[in-house]
A and B are shown apart, each in its own frame.
Chain A
Amino acid sequence: MLKRLVRWSRIKSPWILHLNSGACNACDIEIVAALTPRFDLERLGVLLKATPRHADVLVCSGPVTRQMKDRLIRIYEQTPDPKFVVAVGACAMSGCVYRGSYNILGGIDQVIPVDVYVPGCPARPDAILDGVVKLLGKL
């Protein structure tokens, strides 16, 4: 019973933390655009939180620069369990145009486990929406 209640509340209000690990900003503005009236991710109970300690889902973008690697791991560890990671954009999946550069690791999954990948450069807000819905469906 309690388990079902927890599961229900988890699906009904996933709070997200938006984390830029060296992205070019386009994916980030599309994530914010997904939260604004046209696409309105908030109607699914999604709320953008400011600290990892309040978040359930990390929405990450960017190819992970060497400077951000340790911070990314730290933020992942600060997020309470159970936690999920959505990688937004081609960068977060494989490094996109920066692949081969000396300062990037080439994808979020090189550093932390990823649950959902949203492709696109940048990913459209509708695609991000779809990614989040798929994640909720998986729970």
Chain B
Amino acid sequence: MKVQIPIGPQHPALKEPIGLRMTVEGEVIHDADLRLGYNHRGVEKVAEGRSYIQNLYLTERICGICSHSHSTTFAQGAEILFEIVPPKRGQFLRYLVSELERVHSHLLWLGVAGHEAGFDSFFMYVWRDREIVMDILEMISGNRVHYAINTIGGVRRDIDEAQRTKILDLLAVLRARTSFYLNLGTTEPSFVGRLAGVGYLSKEDAMSLCAVGPTARASNVPRDVRKDDPYGIYDEVPFEVCTADTCDVLGRTVVRIKEVLQSYDIMEYLLRNLPAGPVAVKAPRRPKPGEIVSRYEAPRGENIHYIKSNGTDKPERLKVRAPTLGNYAATIAMLKKGFIADIPLIFAAIDPCICCAERSVELVDSRSGRPSVVRWSELRRMAGRRAARDSKKRNVEWPL
């Protein structure tokens, strides 16, 4: 007998509002359906009414965990439209913050994964060490989460020599702690037992479902924008793309810890080779008309911004494709044939950032359109059914 269980939007396993609808038979999940839109704030529409500088702060607030990713993606695109190039030192500092953000995001995830696996002391330990990263970020930018360090044409703040050495010292501490976690995460038998084999996503599926970021890399797909299409300074920084071939949650854990270690290397390189000079150039008031697509490897995967300018001081259109959106299709594949008890773990393993994914009105369209390669008819039916259901439920109370 098949039973449908709704989960969410407010549910202990999910930190953000999202609805899941599982069709289960006994303990085994047969089908999964995501119900989205609880976190839709209309950011893209708001962006059309703000100037480029204001939009930097707005895009930063698309998501709190990868805030710097969104504002950097936007700034990279805008800088091309404004026809300016940020100075070397500004770029180094910008991507230094990027890597710090990657570390903070991955440590955060690692803690959450420990929590979902029932290893709460691991969670507390990791979050304690994460505070070191937050301290560094606060020292560089003045804020813990929304750093607001980007500006069009560079960064807003410089660091001095004392701060530079301080950061290098703190990085050494972090590196020691992270190696300890890598060791623990891969050898502690109960932890490994809980994670291994859960949420299997084969390499072929990861490719055909367009998985991005650590989810794809854990299925042995070496996909990383920093290597594939280097932006900023990444073509001169030595680093490796970390992959794993276990295709499960354990692989995703290992990939993230290894990436954190790579990030330490990148940051050390950036700090040791920090060039002298100004950190920003002045941007003209208005950009040239045109359109641009900007790509960036956020902690969760590839982040794409499309900006269309009509020559005024406000963008005509901003479209954001956040990494979590790319991973939804893969999540459904992972959930199938899994157990109910594994839902939080599998779901947490893509490191979902619902607020990232939900600013665009076309969300439903893009979802049913994306996995067309695999099960077009099936998803069409699901989407149609959902549209029918939702139109009745939709809140009709509009302003004006």
Contact = CB atoms under 8 A, between A and B. Distances in A.
A97 B61 contact: yes
Interface in B1-34: 9-12, 15-17
B168 to A, nearest CB: 22
B399 A102 contact: yes
Contact of B65 (A25, A67, A70, A96): A25
Contact of A97 (B46, B353, B356): B46
A103 B17 contact: no
B38 A26 contact: no
Interface of B: 9-12, 15-17, 37-43, 45-46, 49, 57-58, 61-65, 67, 108, 111, 123-124, 127-128, 130-131, 134, 144-146, 353, 355-356, 395, 397-399
A121 B355 contact: no
B355 A98 contact: no
Contact of A101 (B12, B45, B57, B356): B45
Interface stretch (A7-15, A29-37, A109-117, A131-139): A29-37
A28 B139 CA distance: 22
Contact of B17 (A26, A29, A68): A68
Given A30-B145, A101-B46, A36 B63 contact: no
Nearest to B123: A36
B394 to A, nearest CB: 9
Interface of B (DSSP majority class): loop
15 contacts: A22-B355, A25-B15, A25-B353, A26-B61, A26-B146, A33-B134, A36-B123, A36-B128, A65-B41, A67-B395, A69-B395, A98-B42, A98-B61, A101-B43, A121-B61
B127 A26 contact: no
Interface residues of A, number: 42
Contacts of A20: 15-17, 39
A22 B17 contact: yes
A51 B130 CA distance: 27
A62 B38 CA distance: 11
Given A52-B10, A102-B398, 16 more contacts: A20-B17, A22-B39, A22-B355, A25-B15, A26-B64, A26-B65, A29-B65, A32-B15, A37-B124, A65-B40, A98-B61, A101-B46, A103-B41, A104-B41, A122-B64, A122-B144
A122 B60 CA distance: 12
B45 A102 contact: yes
A29 to B, nearest CB: 6
B58 to A, nearest CB: 5
A46 to B, nearest CB: 15
Given A101-B46, A102-B42, A102-B399, A96 B61 contact: yes
A36 B124 contact: yes
B41 A63 contact: yes
Enumerate the 5 nearest inter-chain pairs by beta-carbon distance, A residue then B residue, closest first: A26-B64, A50-B12, A25-B64, A36-B127, A101-B42
